[in-house]
Amino acid sequence: MAIIKNMTVYKEILLSLPDDKRMRDEFVAIADFYKNLPQDRLWLALRLAGQAAFLGVEIIDARKDVKKNPRVNSYQNGANQSGRKMSAELDNYMRMSKEYRDLMAQLEKLLPEEEKGEAEDGFEKFVGSR
C-alpha cells in the first residue's frame, strides 16, 4: 500500500469499491502514482482513481462480453421497418471506455508539469539531425 498523506479518504474509497481484488489492486496502483501530489489535488486524485479503478476492471469484463456476442444486432419493428444497430454490449463498452479516457485525462491534469512529460516519438531528434 502506498504511503498516502490523506489516509482517511484513501481508506474510504478503498472500502467503497466492490469486493473485487482486481479493482482494489488497480486503485492502489493508481493512487500510488499520485501519492506525492499536494493535499488539495490528492483528495481529487484519489476520488478519480477510485472511479478509474472501477471502470478499468469493468471495461475488461465488458470486453469479454463484446468478444462473445455479436457486435451488431438486427431488429424488426413492424412489417416494413427493420435494420441493424450496435449491440448493447458494444455500446456499454464504448461508453465506459470514453468515460475511462476522460477520467484519466482529468487525473493527468492534476500532475505537476514536470511529471507529465511527453511521449518521445523521435520526431524532434529527426528534425534536429537535418
Q: Residue 56: inside a domain, yes or no?
A: yes
Q: What is the pTM of this model?
A: 0.74
The C-alpha R_g of the chain, in whole angstroms, comes to: 20
Whether 40 and 10 have beta carbons less than 8 Å apart is answered as no
Q: 65: closest CA among 90, 32, 101?
A: 90
Q: Give CA–CA dist 81/76, Å, rounded.
A: 6
Q: Residue 120: inside a domain, yes or no?
A: no
Whether 75 and 84 have beta carbons less than 8 Å apart is answered as yes
Per-residue pLDDT of the chain (130 residues; tens, 9 = 90+): 445 666 888 888 888 888 899 999 999 999 998 988 888 888 899 999 999 999 999 999 999 988 888 788 887 888 888 888 888 889 999 999 999 999 999 999 999 877 665 555 666 766 776 6
Q: Residue 85: inside a domain, yes or no?
A: yes
Q: How many domains does the chain have?
A: 1
Q: Residue 46: inside a domain, yes or no?
A: yes
Q: Residue 53: inside a domain, yes or no?
A: yes
Q: Give CA–CA dist 120/130, Å, rounded.
A: 18
Beta bridge partners of residue 77, listed in sequence order: 81
- Which residues constitute the domain of residue 61? 7-111
